[in-house]
Amino acid sequence: MHAIETDALTLSYGDTIIINELNVKIPKGEITVFIGSNGCGKSTLLRSIARLLKPKEGTVLLEGSSIAKLPTKEVAKQLAILPQGPVAPEGLTVLQLVKQGRYPYQSWLKQWTEEDEAAVNSALEATGMQDFAERAVDSLSGGQRQRAWIAMTLAQKTDIILLDEPTTYLDLTHQIEILDLLFELNERENRTIVMVLHDLNLACRYAHNLVALKDQKIFAQGRPEDVITCSLVQNVFQMNCDVTVDPLFGTPLCIPHGKGRCIVKEVGVMNG
């Protein structure tokens, strides 16, 4: 069984169709990354999978069941989503934010428990945010804030985590830190992770499964080494490039054509 499937999914904003009769299967226990040009529907698809956007037609299946028919709290126990650029209320501490991840487990009959406390502490530890627990979220650096939000999603204890451009606005160091963290969660806990990323090379490095979107449909899907070619990049992004092998990871490495200084005539690795 796949973690998530869509059946003839059509998504729209008003009369504008964004995704048309799309069928996609998200492998369980793997990292899947949606790629495509701006406006192709990556974030819209992610929102629909999380039941934040009602389909015009078609179905989203979560662990084999129609997500539209599941109770909200049941969905929140199976799936967590981190939207792009989330904003916390002014003065909210990291600890208070992470505790919000336990909302699906609260009720009039079941208040805060030792299990909730353990889940919050585990999420803070996994993201390295224990020392920032009493800090206001809006006082943190970009990378720290993103870790705090990821900690909140981890506190939900879901098997599936959706993230919309989790590295946006972060410098390279913090991009790698966030993606390494998600990779470790997948490796260590077998979490199913679905992300939207713009950086093709980072997508290839971390993803087990790439889904390339174009013209309201899936243009290609599969392992990065099977999907990323010069032809695909030209078709999906309208960009000429060379595709070689990442010297550190062996994954596809996209080198875009364009203008710039030419200081070497042979491709190599620069050290120093």
According to the model, what pLDDT value does residue 265 have?
57
According to the model, what pLDDT value does residue 266 have?
56
Region 206-230: mean pLDDT is 96
b/e map of 199-225 (b: 16 or more CB within 10 Å)? bbbbbbbbbebbbbbbebebbbbeebe
Q: Is the dihedral of CA 258, 263, 267, 268 positive or negative?
A: negative
Q: How much of the chain exceeds pLDDT 90, in percent? A: 73
Quick: pLDDT tens for 165-199. Answer: 988 878 898 889 889 989 999 999 999 999 999 99
| Domain at 1-70+165-240: CATH architecture | 3-Layer(aba) Sandwich (3.40)
Quick: pLDDT tens for 66-125. Answer: 999 999 988 999 999 998 888 889 999 999 999 999 988 887 777 888 999 999 999 999
pTM listed for this prediction: 0.89
Higher pLDDT, 151 or 168: 151
CA 242 to mean position of chain CA atoms: 26
Q: How much of the chain exceeds pLDDT 70, in percent? A: 97
Contact 49, 162 (CB under 8 A): yes
According to the model, what pLDDT value does residue 235 have?
96
Q: Any idea where the domains of the chain sit in the sequence?
A: 1-70+165-240, 87-158
According to the model, what pLDDT value does residue 247 have?
95
Tell me the average pLDDT of the chain: 91
According to the model, what pLDDT value does residue 264 have?
65
Higher pLDDT, 55 or 271: 55
